[in-house]
């Protein structure tokens, strides 16, 4: 019997959070090794575990996988969250890609200066409400189904819920003009595996704080200033 997947990353969201979400949605237990020192990171590098010299890295099924999208593709396919045919997979890829674009505006938010954070908060809300959420609102309204693709729970649904909750952290009423997405959020949040992941004590990470930012900067020797989009 294969062991649990093991995730190598920081004790925070970053690019690994979507991997945590997808494993949790699939009902898969996983272990984590948190990078806290430069020495830990260099040990992974020297051991050849990081093919492109970067994390996230996930040990799963005898592989040491890097590149976030490849990791997510594998998990989605392994646990039947990637559609039933090539057309559905293409739609899932398209929707996940759109959600990724929105998440990109949020990913570096913790590393911005206080002034740039306020500017970026406005950008995140504007992009969400004028470009991305209207698209998903239309998809759900047009086909009248519970899920984004094929009326089956998929990676696209997991990823969108993750993004919605992240944007709500920037503006709590951001879904006020999107009734389809409000209903979608309620449905997906109540799927048993998702509901468990959203409860206190799960492996879901909180909003990144100063400690997380300092750890990432120290481990990656990341001392330059990050600029807002």
CA distance 132 to 154: 18
CA distance 12 to 198: 15
CA distance 61 to 66: 13
Q: Which tokens hold the place of 80?
A: 């039947």
pLDDT of residue 224: 54
Q: In the chain, list all ranges with CATH 1.20.1050.10.
A: 86-190
Work out the average pLDDT over 15-21: 98
CB atoms within 10 A of CB 110: 18
Q: Which tokens hold the place of 187?
A: 């449905």
Q: In the chain, list all ranges with CATH 3.40.30.10.
A: 6-79+198-220
Domain at 6-79+198-220: CATH code: 3.40.30.10
Helix axes 86-107, 155-168, angle to 10 degrees: 20
pTM score, whole prediction: 0.95
CA distance 100 to 84: 22
Model confidence pLDDT, tens digit, residues 29-61: 999 999 999 999 999 999 999 999 999 999 999
Model confidence pLDDT, tens digit, residues 193-226: 999 999 999 999 999 999 999 999 999 987 655 5
CA distance 32 to 35: 10
The CATH classification of domain 86-190, taken from the options 3.40.50.300, 3.30.230.10, 1.20.1050.10, 3.40.50.720: 1.20.1050.10
Residue 60: phi, psi to the nearest 5? -155, 135
The fraction of the chain above a pLDDT of 70, given in percent, is 96
pLDDT of residue 195: 98
Summary mean pLDDT of the chain: 95
The fraction of the chain above a pLDDT of 90, given in percent, is 95
Burial track 118-155 (b if 16+ CB lie within 10 A, e otherwise) = eebbeebeebbbeebbeebbebbeeeeeebbbbeebbb
Tally the C-alpha atoms within 13 A of residue 62's C-alpha that lie toward its C-beta. 2
User: For residue 1, is pLDDT > 50?
Assistant: no
């Amino acid at each position: 019997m294969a062991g649990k997947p093991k995730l190598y990353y920081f004790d925070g969201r970053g690019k690994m959070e979507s991997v945590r979400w997808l494993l949790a949605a699939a009902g898969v237990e996983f272990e984590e090794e948190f990078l806290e020192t430069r020495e830990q990171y260099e040990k992974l590098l020297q051991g050849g575990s990081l093919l492109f010299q970067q994390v996230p890295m996930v040990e799963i099924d005898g592989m040491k996988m890097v590149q976030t999208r490849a990791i997510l593709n594998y998990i989605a396919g392994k646990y039947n969250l990637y559609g039933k045919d090539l057309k559905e997979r293409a739609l899932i890829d398209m929707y996940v890609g759109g959600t990724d674009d929105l998440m990109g505006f949020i990913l570096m938010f913790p590393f911005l200066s206080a002034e740039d954070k306020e500017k970026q908060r406005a950008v995140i809300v504007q992009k969400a409400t004028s470009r991305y959420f209207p698209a998903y609102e239309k998809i759900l309204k047009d086909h009248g189904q519970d899920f984004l693709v094929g009326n089956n729970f998929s990676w696209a649904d997991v990823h969108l819920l993750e993004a919605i909750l992240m944007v709500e952290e920037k503006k709590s009423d951001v879904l006020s003009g999107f009734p389809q997405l409000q209903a979608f959020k309620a449905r997906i949040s109540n799927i048993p595996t998702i509901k468990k992941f959203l409860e206190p004590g799960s492996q879901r990470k909180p909003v990144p704080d100063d400690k997380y930012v300092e750890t990432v900067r120290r481990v990656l020797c990341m001392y330059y200033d990050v600029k807002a989009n």
